[in-house]
């Protein structure tokens, strides 16, 4: 790839900032936990929900705040064992910090009212 070292460093720094912001925001939501990803542009987070498939569908079909919603993926499809990931979701941090901030606010608000919340 023919790009400068400065450009590569700026991209690296931007993704590091996004990652750190998103993981901190997730872990500040009561009942949520995400480990620190070390080599990906996404994380798998544990949420206080009954079923990630239902939660992700509920977000798209029944939740909105100020005309916005959140699209995330149930993590169960990323495991080889069907019993794993039932209360986990996969979230990417490829958006800019402003959009990530909105997304984390939406997640927090959605979890406050989700009918299948477990805590």
Domain extents for the chain?
A: 5-113
Looking at the chain, the whole-number percentage of residues with pLDDT higher than 90 is 88
- pTM (two decimals): 0.92
Q: Which class would CATH give 5-113?
A: alpha beta
The 10s digit of each residue's pLDDT in 20-66 is 999 999 999 999 999 999 988 999 999 999 999 999 999 999 999 99
Pull the structure tokens for residue 28: 């500040």
| Element at 21 (helix H, strand E) | helix 5-28
Q: How far is the C-alpha of 87 from the C-alpha of 77, rounded, in Å?
A: 12
């Amino acid at each position: 790839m023919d790009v400068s070292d400065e450009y590569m460093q700026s991209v690296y720094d931007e993704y590091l900032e996004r990652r750190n912001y998103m993981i901190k925001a997730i872990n500040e939501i009561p009942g949520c936990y995400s480990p620190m990803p070390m080599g990906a542009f996404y994380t798998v987070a544990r949420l206080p929900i009954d079923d990630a498939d239902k939660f992700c569908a509920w977000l798209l079909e029944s939740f909105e705040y100020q005309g916005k919603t959140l699209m995330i993926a149930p993590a169960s499809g990323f495991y080889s064992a069907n019993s794993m990931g039932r209360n986990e979701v996969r979230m990417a941090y490829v958006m800019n910090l402003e959009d990530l901030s909105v997304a984390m606010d939406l997640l927090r608000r959605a979890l406050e009212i989700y009918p299948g919340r477990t805590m």
